Chain A
Amino acid sequence: MKASTTTGLIALSMENPALEFEDFDRVMKQHRTRVLRFLLASVGDMDVAESLTQDCFWNAYKSRKTFRGECSVNTWLMRIAVNLVRNHFRSRRIQFWRKVERVNPEQIHDWADRTISPEERAAVKEQVQAIWESAKTLSPKQRTVFILRFVEDLDFPEIAQSMGVTESTVHVHLCRALRQIRKSVGKRK
């Protein structure tokens, strides 16, 4: 009985994609970590990332009826998040007075990865810190592409949809971002 109800709901949401947002609490629960993760990596500030995450869901909630199902809900939310990041960096110049709670570099260092030895961890921590710092110096588009690819694990078409650019543009930005990040991580050769 339950299976048939679920099947019915899926069929309905295929016809009317806005039904994906019928249970918005579920949508938020499902996607919140991912949106927050992308925003945190983009702005490097948990306070701002949390605020932008709420803005992202608020914008999605307001415009849920316009969702046409041309992309996944995740890609749609990422597109909203990308625009929020863009607006954030545009308006940041007038936010110099705002109290910021930046992510402490130590926080990046302190995450617990039990799968590697302490010696390996020390070396990797240094590289992670280097990537974190280097990502901040990328242009906004390069940083967004880099994070969508390597933090969010989106493929090229999804990144292009999220950013409203072509796949070849994504490719160009990603290669430039990688070149800069590699410089900071250091090459072994």
Chain B
Amino acid sequence: MSHHLSEDQFEACIIGRAGQHELVHINECPECRAELEHFRKALSMFRSAVADIAEEHVAVHSSDISASSLSSAGIPAWRWALAVTAFVAAIMLPIVVSRTNPPKPAEHLSPEAVMERLNRHLSRTVPAPMEPMMSLISSEPFANESGGVQ
């Protein structure tokens, strides 16, 4: 059987909830007292280390933060960058696309050419899309009067 503090008793001492029995033991047992001091010191140094790093950072960046800067701080910088990039891309994309595929220049025709084209259009007996079909019918001789039915 150990004559030293158990884990639970030791933890109670560290968190400041030790009972009378534990306190008496700590006073009487140099080993437990040294163990407690050792751990408390380590915790205290840990606290100092974190505090110093945070204080140093705040001292360096003390002017970075104020209530007026909070509205912009609410949105991280990378999100702003992403939004600006998307906005620029939305503007630039149509320009880039139109440059790579330039629109066909307007066809300038002489009045004679326009009249010729109009005459050709008016002289059509069937609509232009049907013209190839009509030429096919006219060039192919009929098999017989019954339309090929024997």
Contact = CB atoms under 8 A, between A and B. Distances in A.
Interface in A29-50: 32-33, 36-37, 40-41, 46, 49-50
Interface stretch (A12-20, A52-60, A84-92, A136-144): A52-60
Contacts of A28: 65-67
Contacts of A51: 76
Given A124-B41, A151-B51, A178-B15, A32 B65 contact: yes
Interface residues of A, number: 46
Contacts of A165: none
A71 interface: no
Contacts of B28: none
A124 B53 contact: no
A174 interface: yes
A128 B38 CA distance: 12
Nearest to A109: B49
B19 interface: no
Nearest to B12: A175
Interface stretch (B54-62, B104-112, B113-121): B54-62
B134 interface: no
A108 B11 CA distance: 25
A151 B35 contact: no
A46 B52 CA distance: 13
A111 B53 contact: yes
Contacts of B84: none
A127 B57 contact: no
B65 A57 contact: yes
Contacts of B4: 189
Given A40-B54, A111-B48, A111-B53, A175 B8 contact: yes
A131 B43 contact: yes
Interface in B1-41: 4, 7-8, 10-11, 14-15, 17, 31-32, 34-35, 38-39, 41
A181 to B, nearest CB: 8
Contact of A108 (B32, B53, B66): B53
B126 interface: no
Interface of A: 24-25, 28, 32-33, 36-37, 40-41, 46, 49-51, 53-55, 57-58, 61, 103, 107-108, 111-113, 124-125, 127-128, 130-132, 149-151, 153, 171, 174-175, 178-179, 182, 185, 187-189
6 contacts: A40-B54, A130-B42, A150-B43, A150-B46, A174-B11, A187-B35
Q: Which 4 pairs between the two chains have the least Cβ-Cβ distance? A: A37-B54, A24-B67, A127-B42, A54-B73
